[in-house]
């Protein structure tokens, strides 16, 4: 089973969490070899994701989003050995409301099909801050 878009239940749970605190979204992306557009194309999943990233950048920045870390996963130390990712990044949003504003923006809705064509599987995990909590390490 691939995970490209949130289920209705997952989206409702997300909307039910506090909306007024900064959030980080951990993104793990596995790309299709060939983009899965409705009309067949020779575009790669990588190319389709680049198109999505380029076209959504101003919307993302417009809601106050920023990429705080990005990288290429190299090895799984703990977890399923058959699970691999092509792209990993952490996006920071001023609050959950800004994330919701982005994904419901009509301009975003008009270009998200590039992401859907590009992605074979993904994980999108909302993370909050542990500020004020005892340090686990260090």
Rounded mean pLDDT of 81-102?
93
Confirm if 44 and 34 have CB atoms less than 8 A apart: yes
Q: Report which of 48, 35, 66, 63 is spatially closest to residue 111, judged by C-alpha positions.
A: 48
pTM for the structure as a whole? 0.86
For residue 83, pLDDT over 90 is answered with no
Q: What is the mean pLDDT of the chain?
A: 89
In the chain the domains, ranked by start, together with CATH numbers, are 19-75+83-127 (3.30.70.100)
138 falls in which pLDDT band (50, 70, 90)? low
Rounded Cα distance between 52 and 43, Å, is 13
The model's confidence at residue 137, banded by pLDDT at 50, 70 and 90, is low
């Amino acid at each position: 089973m691939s995970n490209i878009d949130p289920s209705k239940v997952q989206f409702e749970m997300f909307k039910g969490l506090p909306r007024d605190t900064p959030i980080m979204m951990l993104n793990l992306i596995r790309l299709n070899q060939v983009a899965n557009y409705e009309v067949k194309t020779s575009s790669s999943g990588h190319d389709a994701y680049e198109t999505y990233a380029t076209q959504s950048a101003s919307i993302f920045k417009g809601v106050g989003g920023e990429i705080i870390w990005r990288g290429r996963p190299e090895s799984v130390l703990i977890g399923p050995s058959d699970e691999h990712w092509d792209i990993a990044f952490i996006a920071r949003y001023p609050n959950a409301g800004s994330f919701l504003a982005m994904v419901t923006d009509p301009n975003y809705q008009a270009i998200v099909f590039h992401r859907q064509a590009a992605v074979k599987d993904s994980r999108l995990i909302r993370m909050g801050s542990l500020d004020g909590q005892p340090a686990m390490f260090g």
